[in-house]
């Protein structure tokens, strides 16, 4: 026999009526952010958002995250414990753009803010920096309205560069074996934050000219 039989969780997550809810919510957020992008560019007279990237979490990644969190690896547990089955990443040019985008998201009256984490003002021990906002997107089907969580990660292009390389080299790798690498990459996060701030100061000086 070849191939792996699907688990119950896999089958349920792959049912169109399940994943389409997350895909719908992600599309709503994508269009809202495109709108915000256009409005902010007009208001500020410069581009604020450099790139946006949305994804639905793979079943494999869902299972691994539930295990990491010590939660049961079931469909119900995934829906109850994970806020990032649908996720959107927004990469801004400058570090002060993060608050501008976050504020624009907070002003959207059709979104409920479920949770916010500011890993820019309080970086993770790894050195990871980003603002995470979990929003609840309303989805109405017939007479029933439910809320679908979407995680929006907002960071500067410099923070994104660090996070991408950290993901390649450290993040989710077994701790201990690579402790020295973790320490080193954490140091680079501070270096990058320094350069990010210097670039911001430079932009501000140019704006004053």
- Contact region for ligand 0O2 (CB under 6 A) — 19-27, 164-172, 178-186, 194-202? 164-172
- Contact region for ligand 0O2 (CB under 6 A) — 31-39, 44-52, 102-110, 160-168? 160-168
From the number of C-beta atoms within 10 Å of its C-beta (0-12, 13-18, 19+), residue 139 rates as middle
Q: Element (H or E) spanning 114, and its range? A: strand 112-118
To the nearest whole angstrom, how small is the minimum distance from the Cβ of residue 125 to ligand 0O2?
A: 8
The verdict on 132 binding ligand 0O2 (CB under 6 A) reads yes
**Which residues between 166 and 195 bind ligand 0O2 (CB under 6 A)?**
166-167, 171
63 versus 132: smaller Cβ distance to ligand 0O2: 132
75 versus 128: smaller Cβ distance to ligand 0O2: 128
**Which residues between 22 and 61 bind ligand 0O2 (CB under 6 A)?**
61
Helix (H, G, I), strand (E, B) or coil at 76: helix
* Single residue of 7, 74, 77, 126 touching ligand 0O2 by CB under 6 A: 126
Cross-sheet strand order for the sheet of 112-118: 49-56, 86-92, 144-156, 131-141, 112-118
From the number of C-beta atoms within 10 Å of its C-beta (0-12, 13-18, 19+), residue 2 rates as exposed
- Contact region for ligand 0O2 (CB under 6 A) — 32-40, 43-51, 81-89, 178-186? 81-89
Residue by residue, DSSP assigns 26-70 as: HHHHHHHHHHHHHHHHHHHTS--EEEEEEEEPPHHHHHHHHHHTT
Q: Which residues bind ligand 0O2 (CB under 6 A)?
A: 61, 65, 83-84, 87, 115, 117, 124, 126, 128, 132, 134, 163, 166-167, 171
């Amino acid at each position: 026999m070849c191939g792996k039989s699907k688990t119950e969780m896999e089958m349920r997550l792959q049912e169109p009526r399940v994943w389409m809810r997350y895909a719908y919510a992600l599309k709503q957020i994508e269009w809202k952010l495109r709108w915000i992008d256009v409005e902010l560019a007009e208001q500020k007279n410069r581009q604020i958002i450099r790139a946006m990237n949305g994804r639905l979490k793979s079943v494999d990644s869902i299972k691994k995250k539930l295990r990491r969190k010590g939660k049961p690896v079931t469909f119900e547990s995934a829906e109850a414990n994970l806020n990032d089955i649908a996720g959107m990443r927004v990469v801004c040019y400058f570090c002060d753009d993060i608050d501008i985008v976050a504020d624009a998201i907070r002003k959207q009256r059709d979104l409920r803010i479920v949770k916010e984490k500011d890993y820019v003002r309080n970086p993770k021990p790894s050195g990871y920096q980003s603002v995470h906002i979990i929003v609840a997107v309303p989805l109405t089907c017939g007479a029933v309205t439910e809320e679908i969580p979407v995680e929006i990660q907002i960071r500067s292009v410099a923070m994104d560069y660090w996070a991408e390389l950290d993901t390649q080299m450290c993040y989710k790798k077994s701790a201990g074996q690579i402790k020295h690498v973790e320490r080193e990459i954490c140091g680079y996060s501070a270096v990058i934050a320094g350069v990010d701030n210097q670039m911001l100061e430079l932009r501000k000086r140019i704006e004053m000219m």
